[in-house]
Structure 1
Amino acid sequence: MKESVIAFYDDLADDYHLIFHDWNRAISNQGEVLSRLIRSKLADPHKEVTLLDCSCGIGTQAIGLANNGFRVTATDISPAAVDRAKKEAEAFGVAIHFGVADFRSLEKDISGEFDVVLSADNAIPHLLTDEDLYLAARNLYSKMNNEGVLLLTMRNYDELVKDKQSGTVPSVFNEGRRIVFQVWDWAEDFVTYTTNHFMMQEINGEWITKHVKTKYRALMRDELSQVLSAVGFVDIEWHMPPESGYYQPIVTARKKR
């Protein structure tokens, strides 16, 4: 899992912002939505909040939350993504402490504990086995203060598996000069699938296609809730997009005192 995921995000790091119509707006909107939800779960919503974003990518959520007053530490398994995130944070004028880490080894790789631990953008389903899921959940738990808040976001696999969805609808940007879509190759049991990510751009009159791929587990909401409960999380609650305003289902949980 590790090597293929690193390669996927290393290859995407320079172009990741191009999957959005307006990445700057996405940073702002996601920061506001996640900030509201997180603060609604805190005992003191007005305190200075320490937050670990443990799958930060190029900084979409980390920068947005830093802009909303959170004291952010951000890590990712991809060195190239972290390097890009550092440059973007500097350009946005926000102070974020960055590092390279796998969320299965956070306990030894990252010092300190946090009021909030976040993993967004469907990162957790890169964990293909129960063993890795439980290992990651224990490491997330270890990085939280007592009564700290966990927040994870992922695709709505309960619906995707039921509908046997084969990919995403192409997104067309820049007056038709950029097209982004995914094709999903499912395993026979519909438990895992390979994402083929395509980005097509017209550059100087020539169409260039970039293709990268990685593997995911179609993680059901009940499956993830059971893992979180088993390692000690309490107050596990799912927030769907119509309620939260975020583009993916979100699960929140609390570390038991």
Structure 2
Amino acid sequence: MSTDTAGFYDDLAEHYHLIFKDWGRSIERQAGVLGPLLENKLARSPLKILDCACGIGTQAIGIAQRGHTVVASDLSKAAVRRAAREAHKLGFDIKFHVADMRDLSALPTSDFDAVLVGDNALPHLLSDEDLSQALESISIRLKPGGVLLATIRDYDSLLSTRPSFQGPTFYSENETRRIVHQVWDWDGNQYDVHLYLTWNSASLWTSKHYASRYRAITRAELTQGLESHGFKEIEWLMPEATTFYQPIVLARKEDNSAVEST
């Protein structure tokens, strides 16, 4: 990932929750989908889970609320600081680290039952080499038979329509208003997202602009990448089946010890 990606999330960290209608409820809703998927796939609970693109803690906090042991990391120092602060306020003992998902070797622990990559984080990896490095790094951190869960936009559909605008979405709460919208500038299979947050406090309006680049990774491309790094049982779950806002992919790390013992 580039420094631009880190800068995007550093700048956004203190206001990231404004993207959601109710961030607390979003934490609970997301955990209510992602948690059972991991628990059922691994057929046990509690689990030891790494959230390697934790942002301000949306998934990490929700998963911890379900009783799992959570370690969390992110490229953005500011996002990690915000996530740690939010987790502490809620009383959760989550270990947070600053780390690029392409190289998780600085984390002091491994042998995770599951690794989570939420909120469309993988498409910040703009080249095949970057994606390969991240999948290899994630695989190293997983136990044999462990599970990767990632959520990603439906680029199979988006590449056919190439939308240039998302929103605006209007939120009202306690006599304040928020407006959230995005402008997408396409360049082949990559696009720049311009995120605009506008909100009022009393009679004062504030507007912020944040920009970052994404790569439109198709399901076939990600499946191929997972297979090339020894992941099996690759399963795609679409929003109509899960009620989650993005497609979800589940993949199991090959258990070579089981193969060798037969």
Structure 2 length as normaliser, TM-score?
0.94
Query: What corresponds to 1:127 in structure 2?
Result: 125
Amino acid in structure 2 at the alignment position of 1:8: F
Dislocated runs of 4+, deviation >6 Å: none
Query: What corresponds to 1:254 in structure 2?
Result: 252
Following the alignment from structure 1 to structure 2, what is the Cα–Cα distance between the partners of residues 218 and 95? 35
Secondary structure, in 3 states, of the residue corresponding to 1:48?
Answer: coil
1:35 and 2:15 matched: no
Secondary structure, in 3 states, of the residue corresponding to 1:106?
Answer: coil
Give 5+ residue unaligned stretches, structure 1.
none
Contact 1:145 1:255 in 2 (8 A): yes
Following the alignment from structure 2 to structure 1, what is the Cα–Cα distance between the partners of residues 138 and 111? 10
Q: How large is the Cα RMSD of the aligned pairs? A: 1.2
Following the alignment from structure 1 to structure 2, what is the Cα–Cα distance between the partners of residues 114 and 241? 26
Amino acid in structure 2 at the alignment position of 1:119: V
Amino acid in structure 2 at the alignment position of 1:186: W
Secondary structure, in 3 states, of the residue corresponding to 1:170?
Answer: strand
Deviation at residue 137 of structure 1 after TM alignment: 0.6
Contact 2:149 2:250 in 1 (8 A): yes
Contact 1:117 1:151 in 2 (8 A): yes
Query: What corresponds to 2:260 in structure 1?
Result: none
Query: What corresponds to 2:150 in structure 1?
Result: 152
Following the alignment from structure 2 to structure 1, what is the Cα–Cα distance between the partners of residues 34 and 163? 27
Query: What count of residue pairs does the alignment treat as equivalent?
Result: 253
Secondary structure, in 3 states, of the residue corresponding to 1:14?
Answer: helix
Following the alignment from structure 2 to structure 1, what is the Cα–Cα distance between the partners of residues 190 and 243? 27
Secondary structure, in 3 states, of the residue corresponding to 2:14?
Answer: coil
Residue identity over aligned pairs, in percent, reads: 47
Contact 1:37 1:244 in 2 (8 A): no
Deviation at residue 121 of structure 1 after TM alignment: 0.1
Amino acid in structure 2 at the alignment position of 1:139: S
Query: What corresponds to 2:86 in structure 1?
Result: 88
Following the alignment from structure 1 to structure 2, what is the Cα–Cα distance between the partners of residues 185 and 206? 30
1:22 and 2:22 matched: yes
Following the alignment from structure 2 to structure 1, what is the Cα–Cα distance between the partners of residues 210 and 35? 31
Query: What corresponds to 1:178 in structure 2?
Result: 178
Deviation at residue 108 of structure 1 after TM alignment: 4.5
Amino acid in structure 2 at the alignment position of 1:12: L
1:137 and 2:135 matched: yes
Following the alignment from structure 1 to structure 2, what is the Cα–Cα distance between the partners of residues 137 and 11? 27
Query: What corresponds to 2:226 in structure 1?
Result: 228
Query: What corresponds to 1:4 in structure 2?
Result: 4
